[in-house]
Structure 1
Amino acid sequence: MNRTDRLYALAVELSASAPRCVPARALAARLGVSVRTVERDVARLRRLGLPVEPRRGEGYRLAEEAGAGGVLPPVVLTAEEAAAVAAALRDVEEDGLAAPARSALRKIAAALSVPEREPAGPPPVARTVERALARGRALRIGYADRTGAVTSRDVEPRILLAGRGSVRYLVAWCRLRDDVRVFRLDRIASAVELDDATAGGAAAQASGR
């Protein structure tokens, strides 16, 4: 597994385990690398902006601001498909699943409550990012740094870390930097889906640089 694939996999492992800590040895075993490699990769994710907390004697975990609940790939449903799922959820009565089914049903109902008039302008950034992920398309984003300066970047979305809080992180291959980058969704000023499919930037890192 090359470095780029490891960074994606490491982000998924930490998100799926949040808020629990994962020992470095366990991460190393799952990724098939040494503990030292895990330590270097975690340090790189932290430099890129992903809030990974090291806990002495316990391992690593995503900070509370990143939230818990794991990583779910975006699912794009038509109105008819969503209605079919909602109908199936209404019949769920099995112990332990009834409450989650009701919660999911409420979310689907809210998503289907589309206003009569669509707002003017492009769709919200989060929706555009999720759609590009689902379709395997690249994005052109306007990204603001800590000073507010915005740069245009073409990126290939890989993972969207969605937590309980308001902060969400997009892990993507940045064509401008020719490397993996982590983007805070609240700093993406604009997002446009491109026609070209994601090319799998990991190939550029096949040598494990």
Structure 2
Amino acid sequence: MKRRDALVEELRNAGCLSARQLASRLGVSKSTIVRDVAKLREAGVPIRLGRPGYALAGLETVRREIDRALLGRRVLRIEYRGADGTVTAREVEPSICLGGRGGRWYLVAWCRLRDDVRIFRLDRIVSAAVTDERHPEPDQGPLETLAGLTED
């Protein structure tokens, strides 16, 4: 099962990879990748096959919506699955940053539900939709204030 976990992590980190690219990264054949993807899909992992290759279905859409919200300074409506599995609906102002660390992608944004800056793991965002509402520019406080933040 470790190889299949590694396959999912590769898709999480890269976004979209062909069977050939996955095979090269994992040191296996293309046919092994095709079999592993089939087994993962049977187990409920949302892997889709598109023109450029395999991708995790929800993550690509979430990233696209976050990019749209960042570029247009729009409020983003998300459903977020916490560490305990509970899903909450939130409106966030994604004007702080989007980045990766330790093999995962994170969104740092103002959360209206918590009335504070929060860190959201992209793989825990169940759905994301850009609203028509524009949000103001965030205060230009020092970046050191982000050091004490914890994942929501």
TM-score (norm 2): 0.49
Higher Cα radius of gyration: 1
| Higher strand fraction (1 or 2) | 2
Structure having greater relative contact order (Cα 8 Å, sep ≥ 6): 1
**What TM-score results when the alignment is normalised by the length of structure 1?**
0.36
